[in-house]
């Protein structure tokens, strides 16, 4: 018997081994095994049974161990791993390591508990004989015969004062039976025991929700792959629809995966979801899966799913690899979130992998959002995905109003650049009087700065790529990060001639100071990457804010998500331009999403909410459409330039980053490579660059980049990867391929 094994830890290939006789019964495709590679032993996953024809079988080494008596990677996950290796040009071992928790890979010991129960009932003479001859054994027998459930061995023997040998004698005779059970650690158990408020009552479905649930149930009943986009405005009750679909999947005997962006995975959100799920589908345990689990917790979660004890998993990105058996349903909530993209190897997109896993498992995939990504929306309108819409809020309340403040006018009136407009200051004062709370956002993405005229709102953009140009301080130039075009940075606005060109956005600290100065009574706190670094401080601030000890919270967009503060009735977006005019073709989409999501947060309690947006470009599409929460209008306006410049969803993008300590050498090799790639791939790709990356140097490593635009990743990626492996790279140049990147800066 021969098997092909994917060894882990740095081997991107399939190696073949002989299987010794005693191990044959337990080896199958997906088994976690230990094999000799060179002079050492490594873990690996069995990828195939048998060997290619004419394989020199005699020389094969023998497999040395089978770690678990069941496959660690189910066939659908193995197929998914192979798809990912191809599509993302990522090594197979890295993907398998992402799929199987490290504790599992190390074959970490399982915490076992032994249980005793009655194996055979004793009657008359046999029973009295036992009582006479072996009083200890009789005592144990009598105790167990009165129990309804198996009893923990250690505890019982200690309590009754019975020797282990006596118990063993009974087990040998079959009078008592002994079994092992895993002892489980439940993630978030501390939050349960603290009795945190988990009030999640089932609601009646409104007609739109009922229609959506009906559609999803029909798809589940068909028991074959399809993808649905659930487009529902904020507060329209998408979660309720998900829960009904999960109930149907469970009742059909299947399993389900529920993905949420990592940022939304707060203990409260998980607890709420769990309790609702357990109410709607009693008896089903729901496993939690995210990056903050301890190794033991992760192992337990994994085992509970592999053994079928649990059939539902709720988690962040990596939960898409959870070994759910008989997978029928995959839900991706907030599917537009960039957090689904992993930005370290393997660089996969959780949403896209979710669709592929559903396809391989023959499951239903539901992508949900109030502001779907344009990729998913395009798939829904082209008929590739089915579309379900929720246009009504469940509480019947209107969305909070969004008020736009034109900062050009403000600059004129206040005679100089203002951080906070008079309108916003007034609104903050008003909230302080009423003991309500305010959140001020600064949407800082990346570091890049594009020049913006504070007089007319003009932003310089690349004529070839329609993205904002970025200012490079080192040589005073404006550059396009896609095509590399550059020009000297202007001193005056090219449109209106004003000298008021602004290069840098505001920091959270400056906003905090402005609030202090203008609303001295307000108690202000700041949450940004500084405070994020210190975990306790972050929690502390949120805790104080929840308790009402802080009036105004200033922070970056990280506080926009997953947090529910019913007393917040004012949300201010201090600098909408920072997110709109950056060198990324998705800048408008992100800004629209942020505005709509932020507006959905304001006034969730019984008070009306208000949103104030400060901008130098009030006429910009994301601002105008978000004001009316007009997703369709926004999508139509945004898809037009995407089509003419052939950006996603009309083509795929692959990003290639080159790094090295020597800038000239790096430039030379990235240019040589680009030539080579263009020669071989021909018109299957359009190349943009190479050009210096937006961050030109990190830790003494210079960075250059190249973009490939292609209608089909699969048509080029194999060749690109092969070509890359063959190319004569110097030792000090490293590179990274990123397929379907979500951030261009
Ligand atoms: Zn101007
Ligand atoms: Zn360009």
For position 49, what pLDDT does the model report?
93
Token representation of residue 633: 């209008």
What mean pLDDT, rounded, does the chain reach? Answer: 86
3-state SS record for 552-567: EEEEEHHHHCCCCCCC
Ligand 2 centroid–CA 733 distance in Å is 25
pTM of the model: 0.83
Cα(688) to centroid of ligand 2, in Å?
8
What separation in Å is there between the alpha carbon of 688 and the centre of ligand 1? 29
- Using one digit for the tens of pLDDT, what is the confidence trace for 229-278? 999 998 888 989 999 999 999 999 999 999 998 766 666 667 777 777 77
- Higher pLDDT pick, 446 / 176: 176
563 vs 572, residue with greater confidence = 572
Angle (CA) 146-148-151 rounded to 5° is: 85
Name the pLDDT band for 671 (thresholds 50, 70, 90). very high
pLDDT of 531 strictly over 70:
no
Determine contact, residues 66/31, Cβ cutoff 8 Å.
yes
The pLDDT of residue 94 is above 90? yes
* pLDDT reading at 31 higher than 90: yes
Residue 173's Cβ-side half-sphere holds a number of Cα atoms within 13 Å equal to 15
641: helix, strand or coil: helix
**What is the 450 CA–ligand 1 centroid distance (Å)?**
14
Q: For 214, phi and psi rounded to 5 degrees?
A: -60, -45
CA of residue 567 to ligand 1 center, whole Å: 40
The answer to whether 720 and 676 are in contact (CB under 8 A) is no
pLDDT at residue 189 tops 90: no
What sign does the dihedral 9-13-18-23 (CA atoms) show? Answer: positive
Query: Does residue 110 carry a pLDDT above 80?
Result: no
Phi and psi angles of residue 80, each rounded to the nearest 5 degrees, phi first = -65, -40
Cα of 736 from ligand 2 centre, angstroms: 22
Ordered domains of the chain (ranges, CATH): 2-105 (3.40.1440.60), 112-182 (1.10.10), 191-390 (3.40.50.300), 401-449+505-641 (3.40.50.300), 450-503 (no CATH), 652-739 (3.30.70.600)
Strand partners, 504: none
Q: What ligand has the least distance to the C-alpha of 499?
A: 1
Cβ neighbours around 518 below 10 Å, total? 17
Which is higher by pLDDT, 374 or 416?
A: 374
Q: Which residue has the higher pLDDT, 401 or 244?
A: 244
Is the bond preceding residue 326 a cis peptide, omega within 30 degrees?
no
Report the 10 Å Cβ neighbour count for 723. Answer: 16
pLDDT digit string, tens, across residues 125-153: 888 999 899 989 999 998 898 887 788 78
Which residue blocks in 19-91 are alpha helix, DSSP H? 75-87
Q: Does residue 692 register a pLDDT over 70? A: yes
Question: Are the beta carbons of 554 and 508 closer than 8 angstroms?
Answer: yes
CA of 466 to the centre of ligand 1 (A): 18
């Amino acid at each position: 018997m021969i098997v092909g094994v994917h060894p882990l830890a740095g081997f991107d290939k399939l190696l073949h081994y002989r299987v010794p006789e005693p191990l044959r019964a337990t080896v199958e495709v997906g088994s976690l095994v230990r094999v000799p590679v060179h002079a050492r032993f490594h873990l690996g996953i069995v990828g195939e049974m048998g060997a290619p024809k004419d394989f020199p079988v005699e020389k094969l080494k023998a497999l040395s161990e089978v770690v678990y008596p069941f496959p660690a990677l189910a066939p659908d996950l193995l197929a998914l791993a192979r798809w990912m290796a191809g599509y993302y040009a990522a090594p197979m071992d890295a993907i398998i390591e992402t799929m199987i928790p490290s504790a599992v890979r190390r074959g970490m010991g399982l915490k076992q508990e032994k249980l005793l129960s009655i194996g055979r009932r004793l009657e008359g003479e046999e029973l009295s004989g036992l009582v006479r001859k072996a009083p200890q054994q009789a005592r144990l027998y009598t105790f167990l015969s009165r129990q309804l459930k198996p009893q923990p061995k250690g505890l019982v023997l200690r309590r009754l004062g019975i020797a282990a040998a006596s118990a063993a004698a009974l087990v040998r005779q079959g009078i008592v039976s002994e079994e092992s059970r895993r002892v489980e650690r439940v993630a978030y158990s501390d939050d349960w025991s603290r009795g945190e408020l988990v009030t999640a009552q089932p609601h009646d479905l409104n007609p739109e929700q009922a229609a959506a649930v009906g559609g999803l149930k029909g798809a589940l009943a068909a028991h074959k792959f399809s993808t649905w986009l659930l487009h529902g405005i904020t507060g329209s009750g998408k979660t309720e629809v998900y829960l009904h679909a999960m109930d149907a999947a469970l009742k059909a005997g299947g399993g389900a995966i529920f993905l949420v962006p990592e940022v939304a995975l707060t203990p409260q959100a998980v607890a709420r979801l769990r309790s609702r799920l357990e109410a709607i589908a009693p008896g089903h345990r729901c496993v939690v899966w995210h990056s903050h689990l301890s190794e033991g917790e992760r192992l337990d979660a994994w085992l509970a799913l592999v053994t079928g004890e649990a059939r539902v998993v709720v988690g962040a990105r990596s939960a898409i690899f959870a070994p759910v058996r008989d997978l029928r349903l995959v839900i991706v909530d907030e599917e537009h979130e960039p957090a689904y993209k992993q930005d370290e190897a393997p660089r996969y997109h959780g949403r896209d992998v979710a669709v592929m896993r559903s396809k391989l498992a023959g499951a239903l995939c539901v992508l949900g959002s109030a502001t779907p990504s344009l990729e998913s929306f395009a798939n829904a309108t082209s008929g590739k995905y089915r579309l379900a819409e929720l246009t009504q809020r469940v509480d019947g309340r209107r969305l909070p109003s969004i008020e736009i403040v034109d900062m050009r006018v403000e600059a004129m009136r206040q005679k100089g650049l203002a951080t906070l407009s008079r309108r916003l200051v007034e609104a903050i004062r008003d909230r302080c009087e009423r003991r309500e709370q305010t959140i001020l956002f600064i949407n800082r993405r990346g570091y890049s700065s594009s020049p913006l005229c504070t007089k007319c709102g003009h932003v310089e953009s690349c004529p070839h790529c329609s993205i904002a140009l970025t200012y490079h301080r080192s040589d005073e130039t404006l550059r396009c990060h896609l095509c590399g075009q550059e020009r000297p940075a202007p001193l005056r606005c090219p449109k209106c001639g004003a000298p008021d060109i602004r290069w840098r956005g505001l920091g959270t600290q400056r906003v905090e100071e402005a609030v202090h100065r203008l609303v001295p009574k307000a108690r202000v706190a700041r949450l940004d990457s500084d405070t994020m670094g210190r975990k306790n401080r972050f929690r502390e601030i949120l805790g104080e804010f929840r308790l009402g000890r802080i009036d105004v919270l200033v922070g970056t967009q990280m506080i926009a998500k997953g947090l529910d503060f019913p007393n917040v009735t004012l949300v201010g977006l201090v600098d909408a331009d920072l997110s709109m005019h950056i060198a990324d073709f998705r800048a408008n989409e992100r800004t629209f999403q942020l505005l709509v999501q932020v507006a959905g947060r304001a006034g969730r309690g019984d008070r009306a909410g208000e949103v104030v947006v400060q901008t130098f470009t009030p006429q910009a599409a994301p601002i105008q459409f978000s004001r009316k929460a007009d997703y369709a209008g926004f999508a139509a306006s945004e898809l037009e330039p995407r089509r003419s410049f052939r950006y996603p969803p009309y083509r795929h993008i692959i990003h290639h980053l080159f790094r090295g300590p020597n800038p000239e050498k790096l430039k030379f090799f990235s240019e040589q490579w680009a030539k080579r790639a263009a020669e071989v791939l021909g018109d299957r790709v359009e190349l943009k660059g190479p050009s210096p990356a937006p961050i030109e140097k990190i830790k003494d490593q210079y960075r250059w980049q190249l973009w490939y635009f292609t209608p089909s990743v699969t048509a080029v990626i194999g060749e690109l990867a092969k070509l890359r492996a063959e190319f004569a790279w110097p030792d000090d140049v490293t590179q990274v391929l990123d397929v379907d990147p979500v951030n261009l800066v």
